[in-house]
Structure 1
């Protein structure tokens, strides 16, 4: 069975998903230019839509319908198999009610008892072998999917943890600046509120999607597990009843296996749909790694909304840049008032403060642009303390020692320097949030280390289910033929050839 509509063969899935939330400095070489997001043209079974023409979009019901429809081969065979079983069963009932005479065609099977029994043994063995493969691959698929799910969900938790860290730092900054800068405090409060909304949205994402994914994974696993174990019991029981020649019980096993085989074909179609979905997901993750700004995953990933994130970074950059610029302006004024210059040995260390942000409107962060003589904002209080006139000192003493800064001014400068230093510490985290770096790193890890094995796992599960379904169809047909062959014959227990008197 080939993949319809040319869906890409290898796919890391699931993540990539649900994959590839990259390492910040990780480099993936996919081409010289950003890849465009893959679009599909698939049959859409929903009303008023013949085809789904679009990209990977788990919020679109037409995408889900078209993806699920790729397993139509299994669903159709399941329907045909079930209907043929109903038709065959009804015809046998009517034939039994009308006459108990044996059909002449039955005698054509005479002389093939050993051959038919060998066929039963062969396909019983094949069915058991395929069942073993399904059991193994079902467990492997569960482990791979759980690992991928945990990776994706953990990235969401990491994003939320980073946001909470930033919010806590902003609250400390607000407390420091509140006595001096009400406007700045209000702006930080607004920014904290935005981040709080993002954190709550991510929490809802993690809780909702984590539960849904886990329920889907475990439901699929349990359905496969129960189905194949029940089938294994029926196949072995059927062989035993065939050897015991208990015709009514053998017919019951045939009916049950007929129904179970129908379910297997449905599951085969469903597994093929999972294979398709996994390829689509990994392909979307690959594209997100290369082109995160133009990707359908943006609407569902637990990142800060880009419409707010750029504004948050700009606001922080503007606050820091403006505050440091004001402080540097005051330092210049002090030099001018006192008639001092930078070459004076007494104040040689008292240079301007490093301002790592460029002018507006972008306020780009560039910590390497400061000259070596610039004072890091975190060290400002150490420099100012040497020129501060504390309350316990007399005015004359301060003048004599050239301590020209009042303590109130020092306290204000200290609050500014501590708050600005805290802002600079959280700025990389803010930038990481706005660029969704944590998710990119995670997707990269999944694409490189999990997708390939996950894709192989789902392919093997689907192939094993397909093999089991084919073997069960063949075995059930052989059972039916064997049942006709034994009808009206007399067998000794465990004999495969009827008694001569039969």
Structure 2
């Protein structure tokens, strides 16, 4: 503008002719910049899609792990319910109620998995396809614009400028969407970090699949108390069992074998310490193996049972087997119950997200937004340059349109 003012009041066509080389160079520079920026946005969009897919797999994996754990617990509780129903209907009814609570939590987690997976897929794939389509058309239009300029087809300028304006508007729309995506990723990572520090007061506490604290705490305490009390009573009555088996208390070796392992501490904590038992203590699940040697089966006669020292009725053995097997099943699933109670499954996955995925995701979405905004700015200047070239060329004869005066 300063140069034009110094040169006097000449016509716009003369001024555009004078700066034809400058406009032509600007067209080439902005076109090359737009091509490079489009390629960079495509590469960044692909990288963002991959990282988002990885994040989705981790988040959905939280629910899958929780569902697997709950499934194992439900299978065990159903088996216990079947074993104890003939001997203790009250406990069987309690187990049925527990199974229903677990099934309810399982349905909540299943809805979380389905909702999260669909939301991730819809957002990420829609964004990637939109970027791919717009930028592919943009690259084709940029190349077509260069060809039309070399062919000296002036009506094609109007078409090119119209396409560029539409593409520029779409680029700015995608820039806004990428900014939203970057903000969402940053907020999501901040929420994961808050959940890792304080799960109870985190905004994700109601979304991530953790069993209700009140239910899980009562369940864990009740199970620990039940198992501990049962084993303590069993061991305290061991002398009576020795007398029934005809074994003297002086047989220390057998007494050691018959000691049942109690992996829980005393009240009120009932802490689970699986390695606290002595080496000569037996698992409660192995008690039926010892009682089987002294069990008189229905097909055996009373005389045969007395001769072989089998005085324990088969019905008593079946009841003992049902209780000991149920208690052992509870002990087997107790670590899973603890993980659900303390929400360790979720906490471990969230820790993995915060440690390994949040920073790359933030960088990727930030680069996508920045590169898309750069492309949008370049497209604005490119369109304005094409408008200037179209005006200059339209006011000149076609034979001199693309030649230096």
TM-score, normalised relative to structure 2? 0.88
CA contact (8 A) 2:181 2:365 kept: yes
Distance change >3 Å, CA 358–CA 186, structure 1 → 2: farther
Is the aligned partner of 1:380 residue 2:298? no
Q: How do 1:102-501 and structure 2 match up within 5 A? A: 104-334=11-241, 342-344=249-251, 347-349=254-256, 351-392=258-299, 395=302, 403-492=310-399, 496-497=402-403
CA contact (8 A) 2:295 2:310 kept: yes
Larger Cα Rg: Structure 1 or Structure 2? 2
Segment drifting more, 190-199 vs 264-273: 264-273
Are the equivalent residues in 1 in contact too, given 2:44–2:368 (CA < 8 A)? yes
> CA 1:435–1:371 in structure 2 vs 1: closer, same or farther (change >3 Å)?
same
Aligned mates of 1:364, 1:187 — CA distance in 2: 22
Consecutive unaligned residues of structure 2, counting only runs of 5 or more, are: 1-9
- Cα distance between partner residues in 2 of 1:199 and 1:380: 34
Aligned 8 A contact 1:134 1:461 in 2: yes
In terms of mean alpha carbon deviation, does 165-174 or 242-251 score higher? Answer: 242-251
Q: Aligned partners of 2:236, 2:298: CA distance in 1, in Å?
A: 26
Q: Which deviations, in whole Å up to 9, do the C-alpha atoms of 1:186-211 show, x marking residues without a partner?
A: 11111111111111111111112211
- Higher helix proportion, which one? 2
In structure 2, the CA distance between the partners of 1:334 and 1:255, relative to structure 1 (3 Å rule), is same
Cα distance in 1 between the residues matched to 2:214 and 2:343: 13
Q: Does the CA contact (< 8 Å) of 1:153 and 1:210 recur in 2?
A: yes
Aligned in 2, Cα 1:463/1:342: closer, same or farther, shift over 3 Å?
farther
Secondary structure, counterpart of 2:86 in structure 1 = coil
What displacement does 1:341 show? 5.9
**8 Å Cα contact 1:321/1:359 also seen in 2:** yes
Per-residue deviation, residues 370-407 of structure 1 (Å, max 9, x unmatched): 34443311221122223334445555665566545333
Instruction: Give the whole-Å Cα distance in 1 for the aligned partners of 2:125 and 2:299.
Output: 71
Structure 2 vs 1, CA of residues 212 and 338 (structure 1 numbering), >3 Å: closer, same or farther?
A: closer
Taking only aligned residues, the RMSD between alpha carbons, in angstroms, comes to 2.6
Native 8 Å contact 1:380 1:417 kept in 2: yes
Over 3 Å counting, the alpha-carbon distance change for 1:490 and 1:410 in structure 2 is: same
> Could you give the per-residue CA deviations for residues 83-135 of structure 1, whole angstroms, max 9, x where no partner exists?
xxxxxxxxxxxxxxxxxxxx944433231112210110111000011011111
Q: Which runs of 5+ in 1 are unaligned?
A: 1-102
Measure the CA separation in 1 of the matches of 2:129 and 2:201.
Answer: 38
1:284 Cα deviation from its structure 2 partner? 2.2
Matching of residues 12-51 of structure 1 within 5 Å:
none
2: distance between equivalents of 1:241 and 1:269? 31
From the superposition, tell whether residues 353 and 217 of structure 1 become closer, same or farther in structure 2 (CA, over 3 Å): same
Superposed displacement of residue 254, structure 1: 1.2
d(CA) in 1 for partners of 2:377 and 2:235? 80
**Counterparts of 2:244 and 2:305, CA distance in 1:** 17
Contact between 1:114 and 1:497, CA under 8 Å: does it hold in 2?
A: no
Normalised by the length of structure 1, the TM-score is: 0.72
Tell whether the 8 Å contact from 1:127 to 1:471 is kept in structure 2 after alignment. yes
* Counterpart Cα distance in 1 of 2:68 and 2:245: 49
